[in-house]
């Protein structure tokens, strides 16, 4: 009986871990940790979150281009804003969060 209980607990822990790994990235949390320093101050020409005029020329491009620039780097922005440990999905979630106020 103890072996069955241990196996069930291990299986439950594995499922819980798998569910947490597959959860959608938190764009706001990623922005706060990795993007805010530049996108709140406009450092090196970074468009400020919520500044429709700064984002307007960027929004004229398609989202695939904006995502590619965010992931690969563009101008003064290094790839993934210098946070190469971020996944592409996390970078996209942060960009989506930044764009919410101007869409």
Q: What is the dotted CATH code of the domain comprising 25-102?
A: 1.10.760.10
pLDDT in tens, 63-91: 999 999 999 999 999 999 999 999 999 99
| pLDDT for res 11 | 52
CA dist 80 and 84 (Å) reads 6
Residue 77 pairs in a beta bridge with: 74
Give the N- to C-terminal CA distance of the chain in Å, as an integer: 57
Burial class of residue 15 in the structure, from the number of CB atoms within 10 Å of its CB (0-12 exposed, 13-18 middle, 19+ buried): exposed
Alpha-carbon distance of 11 to 32, in angstroms, equals 34
The CA distance from 27 to 93, in Å, is 4
- Rounded to two decimals, what is the model's pTM? 0.78
pLDDT in tens, 1-52: 565 544 444 555 555 555 556 799 999 999 999 999 999 999 999 999 999 9
């Amino acid at each position: 009986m103890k072996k069955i209980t241990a196996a069930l607990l291990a299986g439950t822990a594995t499922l819980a871990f798998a569910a947490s790994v597959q959860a959608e990235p938190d764009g706001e949390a990623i922005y706060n940790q990795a993007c805010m320093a530049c996108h709140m101050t406009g450092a090196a020409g970074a468009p400020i979150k919520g500044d429709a005029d700064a984002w307007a020329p960027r929004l004229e491009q398609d989202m695939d281009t904006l995502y590619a620039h965010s992931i690969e780097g563009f101008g003064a922005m290094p790839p993934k804003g210098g946070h190469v440990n971020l996944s592409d999905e996390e970078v996209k979630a942060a960009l989506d969060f930044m764009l919410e106020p101007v869409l």
